[in-house]
Amino acid sequence: MSVTFTRFAETIHCKEDKRVVSVTVKLLLGDCTGTVYFTDIQAQEGDRLTGYTINTETMLQKFREGGVIVPTRFYNGVVRSGETVILFNLGSTSAGLDCHIYPIQNMAAGSIQLSQGAGAHRVKFKEAASPGDTLSLLASTRQCLKNGNPTDKEGFFQYTASGDSKHVVKLEDRKSARLLFEFQEMQEGSERP
């Protein structure tokens, strides 16, 4: 029997600024046959770090092509004001994302933000930044750095979803920064012993 899992990510927008008491999720299927498994629901936001998590039933290993480990992927570019950046993660599962931001102009505290897809999993750098600074948000080591020193952030470490992974970059209006995103693609490995 062949089992295929597909990962879906959605953003829930609240209509009012009120506390959410409960969330109900209903799985609706139509015009299909076979067995459907619904697993690993995860809701994230708020002021506490949760980061990305892996399925505990399998161990992950570095993505391989032809039995050879694929090297770390690097994507770079320049963003002015804000853009959606799409990363291509050829691995079969999510992977932690290391983000480096190099401001070209001075930017106010809190004006540099990253998020996933439609704005979920948001992070904001709390300190102001100047040309010559390097802001690094490192999922691989769980660090947020400014010029190599620990700095404060508000929000979550980033990850790349398997396939096309959308990342929203927001900067201070009419200002620019160079970006460098890097990640090691991952795949499912052997079952846990």
Give the pLDDT confidence score for residue 92 in this predicted structure.
Answer: 86
pTM: 0.68
* The total number of residues written for the chain in this structure: 193
- Average pLDDT of adjacent 10-residue blocks, the chain of 193 residues: 60 68 78 75 57 56 89 94 92 91 96 88 94 95 94 92 90 96 86 50
pLDDT tens profile 90-142: 988 888 999 999 999 999 999 999 998 877 889 999 999 999 999 999 999 99
The greatest distance separating any two alpha carbons of the chain, rounded to the nearest whole angstrom, comes to: 57
Cα first-last separation, the chain: 22
Cα–Cα dist 170/115, whole Å: 9
- Of 179, 84, 98, whose CA–CA distance to 137 is shortest? 98
